[in-house]
Structure 1
């Protein structure tokens, strides 16, 4: 190939690049690639392109409508998952494994339990040995037989025993007391000072109460999560959010499991920012604006302020609230790329309200001018090489003639 043809090829390559070539070295995808490969685009809350990439994700411009829903979407709640139990303190019926005490009073001596020669005494009553409610949910009472008590209140069991003993005892009155409540316990595990099973009381115990009874946290609260498992349902909240939101401090019910665990809260920053890598939150409520500040801001000589991208997996209900058709996504969790245009002055207010989430990825794309400079560097190196090659050919030809 002649030198003139080589230069023509370089010029043609330049034209090709300007038309959209993205093969130059880069720390991440170009803004055009992000937009073109989005399976779903929510630009100003309206869906657009439908092209299918390797992983179906949605491209969502950060707007007032997004801000109105994103806080709820990024903050799971215990109240929302388990309700606030409108009846207030949950009822704690007797259960299997509970140890109870049964005391029977009679109006005078000479009845079923108080002998006639009992003489002077402080009260006409007899307390039976403590009993453990067995696997069938029953206890045994002399002259009353085996009584089912599990799942019932003490007052209902007392009423039944009084009726069963009425024909034998003299005006019997029955009092049942819990000695130990093994059926009304919750387990508190993980990063607490004294993991244990905590016995619930009739006064009602909330989630912070049982954590306190387990010795409190053994980790920094800003990095500590609290998970509540109740039957097949599970919900996790940040401990700091729990103590700052009274409605989240819900009542415990028997069988609950509370797991406290520390998890380093971080986000990743890539692209044309002052600092790349994994960055700690260090705050309970970190916003996108603050995250950009932690990452050193946007580099003036590289960044495209129109293409500040945040990668996150969100619940499909979040997109439904934006009136987006999510039928193409089979999963409840949908990958989303949120985009902020910092050339818009109002976006500065929006990024200060947009909440960050643990393990978010912030990527700032290079400006088109930066990509052009990269290309011109390549052109320069190629043209220099072409010139060097032609010189080497001449030198080789002359060397051959000298042989």
Structure 2
């Protein structure tokens, strides 16, 4: 009798709540942000094979366009710059040797132990003073070009001069390496082409915590994101990316490339991407999968903050081929994966909030 009395009292209300939960719950195509006040709801895009192919093509096109002008197949030779120290020797004329001044450089500016050797310093105007030749503008010239210019000047005073000219200390051009490398700091550009791989190797290599897919190259006001594995997949040698003086290379940490999984999954968590790659299927699998008790497999959402605004993708995991599409859908850093609750779970939670313990009392009272 108590059971019947209780049911008769609350059955109409429970039926009303059930209908409300079924109507106000998440719907296919409604998006996880439906009903949130404060602005328009972003449209929901269903994850299909066409969408996956379009995203892959857009990602490949964006990467190839941004890095096309950074790739140099044949690096140019080193050019002399302001502040470099030159070693100049005129053979059979020892009286012209040792005319340079000692450079006031530090050990950090000139590689190798000990004080920097004496030499001819290229001044702030790019010139060098040499006996008989006078002031020579050598900035912007290669060693061979500078040697030819000096030989031509000395030929007016010395018969068939034999000149040796080389850069003794490289101080005019530098790049800066920062982030997840063993030896962050500045690197001087010398006669060996300063490619991206060369700069990373001089910095001692990347740490285990480095994200090889998020190496940012800053050149002036421009920023380029370089992924080593992505370049290799596209057939681009990372050693062909030539750095310019003043470039800043930042190697980001893997902790900055996380994907967040929440909602009706077994274990909500933040996942670290594997060198910039993580698929929707892998993220759901590492979170234990969709909860069999409360998750709605029709409503798996991916919320992404894009430059053009927030984008919301939806996967219906009950459809044929859904697992294959989830494996092909690649996530991006800071993506949010949300699995909505089923209508039955929403109804149960609504009743539990209004009448704590009511369902438990019904079940207990109905037992013989």
Normalising by structure 1, report the TM-score. Answer: 0.68
2:335 is the alignment partner of 1:350: no
Q: Alpha carbons of 1:350 and 1:55: their partners in 2 closer, same or farther (altered >3 Å)?
A: same
Q: How does 1:273-292 map to 2 (within 5 A)?
A: 273-281=265-273, 285-292=277-284
Distance (whole Å) between structure 2 residues aligned to residue 36 and residue 114 of structure 1: 83
* Count of residue pairs brought into register by the alignment: 330
CA deviations over 1:87-135 (Å, ceiling 9, x no partner)? 52144211111111223357xxxxxx579xxxxxxxxx85753111111
Q: Alpha carbons of 1:208 and 1:15: their partners in 2 closer, same or farther (altered >3 Å)?
A: closer
Residue number in structure 2 paired with 1:341: 316
- 3-state DSSP class of the match of 1:258? strand
Match of 1:308 among 272, 297, 300: 300
2:89 is the alignment partner of 1:100: no
Distance (whole Å) between structure 1 residues aligned to residue 159 and residue 225 of structure 2: 56
Higher mean alpha-carbon deviation, 251-260 vs 338-347, is at 251-260
Distance (whole Å) between structure 2 residues aligned to residue 308 and residue 367 of structure 1: 11
Q: Alpha carbons of 1:220 and 1:36: their partners in 2 closer, same or farther (altered >3 Å)?
A: closer
Q: Give the root-mean-square deviation of aligned CA atoms.
A: 3.8
2:185 is the alignment partner of 1:196: yes
- 3-state DSSP class of the match of 2:332? coil
Residue number in structure 1 paired with 2:108: none
Residue number in structure 2 paired with 1:366: 341
Q: How does 1:1-400 map to 2 (within 5 A)?
A: 10=13, 13-14=16-17, 17=20, 20-21=23-24, 33-34=30-31, 54=39, 57-71=42-56, 77=63, 80-81=66-67, 83-105=69-91, 113=93, 128-129=99-100, 130-221=119-210, 225-237=214-226, 247-249=237-239, 250-264=241-255, 265-281=257-273, 285-314=277-306, 332-375=307-350
- CA shift, 1:18, in A, is 5.8
Distance (whole Å) between structure 1 residues aligned to residue 327 and residue 138 of structure 2: 57
- 3-state DSSP class of the match of 1:352? helix
**Structure 1 spans left out of the alignment, 5+ residues:** 1-5, 23-28, 39-51, 107-112, 116-124, 315-331, 385-403
Residues 21 and 346 in structure 2, CA contact (< 8 A), matched pair in contact too: no
**Structure 2 spans left out of the alignment, 5+ residues:** 1-8, 101-118, 360-368
Q: Alpha carbons of 1:93 and 1:305: their partners in 2 closer, same or farther (altered >3 Å)?
A: same
- CA shift, 1:37, in A, is 5.1
Q: Alpha carbons of 1:7 and 1:366: their partners in 2 closer, same or farther (altered >3 Å)?
A: closer
Higher mean alpha-carbon deviation, 262-271 vs 278-287, is at 278-287
Q: Alpha carbons of 1:91 and 1:61: their partners in 2 closer, same or farther (altered >3 Å)?
A: farther
- CA shift, 1:81, in A, is 3.2
Q: Alpha carbons of 1:35 and 1:100: their partners in 2 closer, same or farther (altered >3 Å)?
A: same
Residues 149 and 157 in structure 1, CA contact (< 8 A), matched pair in contact too: yes
Distance (whole Å) between structure 2 residues aligned to residue 258 and residue 159 of structure 1: 36
Distance (whole Å) between structure 1 residues aligned to residue 273 and residue 302 of structure 2: 15
Q: Alpha carbons of 1:345 and 1:274: their partners in 2 closer, same or farther (altered >3 Å)?
A: same
CA deviations over 1:274-323 (Å, ceiling 9, x no partner)? 11232344675321101011111112232222211011123xxxxxxxxx
Distance (whole Å) between structure 2 residues aligned to residue 192 and residue 132 of structure 1: 33
Q: Alpha carbons of 1:186 and 1:217: their partners in 2 closer, same or farther (altered >3 Å)?
A: same
Q: Alpha carbons of 1:230 and 1:78: their partners in 2 closer, same or farther (altered >3 Å)?
A: farther
Select the structure of larger CA radius of gyration. Answer: 1
CA deviations over 1:193-234 (Å, ceiling 9, x no partner)? 222332334342322222121222234345884222222222
